[in-house]
Structures are given as C-alpha cells and as structure tokens.
Structure 1
Amino acid sequence: MFLPLTIELLLGFVGLFIITKMLGKTQFSQVTPFDFISAIFLGEVVGSALYDGQTTVYPMLYSLFLWGSFMLAIKTAGQKSLKIRSWIDGSPSIVIRNGRIIRKELKKNRINIHDLLYMLRQSNVFSVREVEYAILEPNGSISVLKKADYGHVTRRDLNLPPKQVHLPTSLITDGEIIWDNLKAIGLDQQWLEGQILSFGIDKVQHVLYAEWKENEGIYIVPYA
C-alpha cells in the first residue's frame, strides 16, 4: 500500500517541478517553484482526505509526513550547497545590462517585450531608456537600477520649475510596427523607417523594440 503511494508521490513531485520550471519565473508572483509545488500538493492531499470517502486518515498522514520529509531534506540540501539552492529556487537573470535588452535571457525565461514593459511599469519605470540594469528575480518580480540621468533627484530639489511629464509610446515590438500607436502620435511609416536607418538598421524586422517619447525622441533597441 505504502510503496505505490511513495512512488506516486515521487513521480508527482518530479513532474510538477519540471512543469513549473518550464513555465518560467513569471508564473509564480511571490513564491518560488518549490513553494508553488508544495502548496498544490498539500492542498490536494488535504482535499482528498476531506472529500473522498474512500481515503482514510492514515494514507493522508503518511503522505503529509513523507512530503514534509522531502521538503525538509531539499531545504537542508539547499542551505548546504549553492548549486542545489540555485537549481531548486532558481537564480536571478539579468534581462537588461548596461541599458541593452538581453533577448537571450528573455527567451530563456519565456517572457516577451510586452511582459518586460509590464514588469517595468510595475516598478514605476515607464521607459526602457531609463534602465541601466533590470534583474528578473527567482520569484518572478523585477529589480531595476536606473541610469544616473534618471535618478530620484526631483526638480524641486534643484529649485527648478515643474516640467510636463510624457508617457512613452511603443512603436515596434519584436520586429513588428504597432500601427495604431504610430498613427496616434501623427507620424508615418516613412518617418519611422528613416529613424531606423539613422541608427544603422536597414529593416524594421531587425528592431527588437522602439519607442517614442515627447521631448526625447525615438529610442531603438536592435536585435542582439
């Protein structure tokens, strides 16, 4: 009785862990993949005991004990070995380095430009051009280090008059023009292609991301 249950638990752990790692870091909000698996499994064990009349208390207690032992053993191993800890909880990924988007890291973590822009906005960063470094944490959150020119010194600190703030407008993502946005700022494809050429890029398809911001102009990120 207990041997088949043990095998099922082991297979369930391995299967859930592989699936959650494949989904990428953005699936977990504020928990690590290991915590995510534990929450699902423990909820299922307790739920089965409560709602399945054929499940007795002893298999449930055994399952909880066995799973608790797994958790304790893995957490202990992670405390003793940096490599094991990195494999279990994941490691940070630098998705923007020295102001450049690292497309390889985006693909590795199953996120696209739209996901990256959303996470930056969640960190109160509304333009990629402001970012020197962005690090995707193991729990799916993003940490941002702004460029020196976009630090937190305010105009009030310098006794300067207020200045109007403009939101950036995305014009190209993943090599495709966002026509509605281009039309909204009163510009056309010919202008956009000219701007791309001025950056030494001959095709729109070679642009990973481009945005327009009033008073600052266009910002272009080519495919690496």
Structure 2
Amino acid sequence: MEDILIPTLRTSVSFIILILITMVIGKHINTHKSHYSFALSIMIGSFVANMGFDVNIKFKSMLSSFLILVILFYLFMVLSSRSRNIRKWLSGRPTVLIENGKILDKNMRKVKFSIDDLNQFLREKDIFNISEVEFALLEVSGELSILKKKPFQYTTKQDFNLPNSSESLPVELIMDGKIIKKNFSEKYNHNWIEAECKKRNLQIKDIYYAVVNSDGHLFVDKYKDKFSSPTDVE
C-alpha cells in the first residue's frame, strides 16, 4: 500500500506546484522565445518527473532545488527586462540571412544554415521564389521572419486610402446557453441581448454561442442548426 500511496502523494504535490509555478512564469516558458526559457522548460519537466516518481530521491531536496531554479529564472527575467545588455546575453539576437535581397553566406555558415534549409523555411512562409525577399532574419526561437520586396507585399486598406475605423476585442455574451454577465457593458447589457434574441425569435437557452465581433456585429450560433447531414470528421 505504501508503494502506491507515496508516489501518488508525491505526484499530486508536484503537479500542484507545477500549476502554481506556471501561473507565475508560464507565459515566458511556453513561448520558447529564448535560450534560457527553453532550457528551463526542459529542466522543470525533469524536476517534476523525479519529484513525482523517483522515491529514492528525497522530496524535500528535489523541491528546494526546483524552487531555487525557478527563483533564479525569475531574477534573470527581471534583470533582462531592465537591461538590454543582459537581455541580449540571455535571449540572444536574431541573425540576418538575407539583406537587401542578397544572401549573407557568412551568417548562414555561423548558424549552420544551408540553402536547402533557407528554401524550406521560405516555402513554409508561402514563398517559393527567393527573389521576392528583401530581408530574412532567423529569430532566436528558430522562426524565420520575412520582409518581402515592395512589389510582392500584400495590399492593405491603407494602400487604398480608406477611412480609419477603430476596432475592439470580441465580446462574448452567451456560451452554452448561459449569459456571461461579467462581459456586460453600458451598451451590451441584459436588455440589449434580450432584444437581439427577440429579433431572431430565439431564447437564451436556444443559443450555443453569441459574440459581438470586433466590427460590432452580433454572431449567434444556435444549438440546433438544422443540417440534414452535417460533416463529422475526427
């Protein structure tokens, strides 16, 4: 019984500690945008696994080491946010691979990048002709950032001199047939959503999801969509 109880308790406590830690620094770890955040994510996984399953290692010793690791990461994170030099040292800097349409072969060799690697990254960005690229930077995260030459850039509304219009974040008002009161405002309140439902001959309980889009229009999805043969793909 003890062989089952102790690992169960250790695993449960380790998982709770992991959840608490990720609530504090999880956004920095999950992105893997720097060397030290990537290294920390690997070490955290190793620590939690050992704390949970390796009964030959004292739990208190592992926990103290784990907390020291997290504290060190947090301190470095604070320092890097206040000092650009420390941030460069910890996070690294992007490497320019293409500049003014020219491939920088020296930088390619520094990061051990071949032409095949570069072409693959470009294809993943929907670029099949390297002649379309003005700048290409290999980010610390391993992603390739591209700036196309002007003739190949996407057209935006600004190019047509259209009048500016502000947008806002979508506002979810109904989910699973229940009103989300915390998202109410002076404009989008209970009376407003009731009136919108009345226009559509619907009740709140009939609606699966209702959201005010960023353009100010209300999107409503009902529970019963009345499809004769809906697609079912897993």
TM range (shorter): 0.5 to 0.7
- State yes or no: 1:78 paired with 2:115: no
Task: Tell me the alpha carbon deviations over residues 58-98 of structure 1, each in whole angstroms, 9 at most, x when there is no partner.
Answer: 01210111101110111111112111101111112211000
Q: Calculate the TM-score normalised by the size of structure 1.
A: 0.53
Q: How large is the RMSD of aligned CA atoms in angstroms?
A: 2.3
1:30 shift after superposition: 5.0
Counterpart selection for 2:36 from 34, 37, 45 = 34
State the match for 2:112 in structure 1: 110
Letter paired with 1:107? R
Preserved CA contact (<8 Å) 1:30 1:141: no
Letter paired with 1:133? F
Change (3 A) 1:30 1:130: farther
Letter paired with 1:42? I
Preserved CA contact (<8 Å) 1:135 1:144: yes
Preserved CA contact (<8 Å) 2:51 2:63: no
1:124 shift after superposition: 1.2
The aligned runs of 1:207-222 (5 Å cut-off) are none
State the match for 1:99 in structure 2: 101
Preserved CA contact (<8 Å) 2:32 2:38: no
Change (3 A) 1:74 1:118: same
Between the aligned partners of 1:42 and 1:112, the Cα distance in structure 2 is 33
State the match for 1:54 in structure 2: 56
Greater gyration radius: 2
- Residue 55 of structure 1 aligns to a residue whose secondary structure is coil
Preserved CA contact (<8 Å) 1:89 1:138: yes
Q: Using CA pairs below 8 Å that are at least 6 residues apart, which structure has the higher relative contact order?
A: 1
- Where does structure 1 lack aligned partners over 5 or more consecutive residues? 1-28, 154-224
Preserved CA contact (<8 Å) 1:130 1:150: yes
What percent identity do the matched residue pairs reach?
30
Letter paired with 1:108? K
- Residue 55 of structure 2 aligns to a residue whose secondary structure is coil
1:38 shift after superposition: 0.5
Preserved CA contact (<8 Å) 2:98 2:104: yes
Task: Tell me the alpha carbon deviations over residues 5-48 of structure 1, each in whole angstroms, 9 at most, x when there is no partner.
Answer: xxxxxxxxxxxxxxxxxxxxxxxx95321111111111111111
Q: Calculate the TM-score normalised by the size of structure 2.
A: 0.51
Preserved CA contact (<8 Å) 2:139 2:145: yes
Between the aligned partners of 1:81 and 1:110, the Cα distance in structure 2 is 29
Letter paired with 1:132? E
Letter paired with 1:40? I
Between the aligned partners of 1:87 and 1:39, the Cα distance in structure 2 is 19
Tell me the matched-pair count: 128
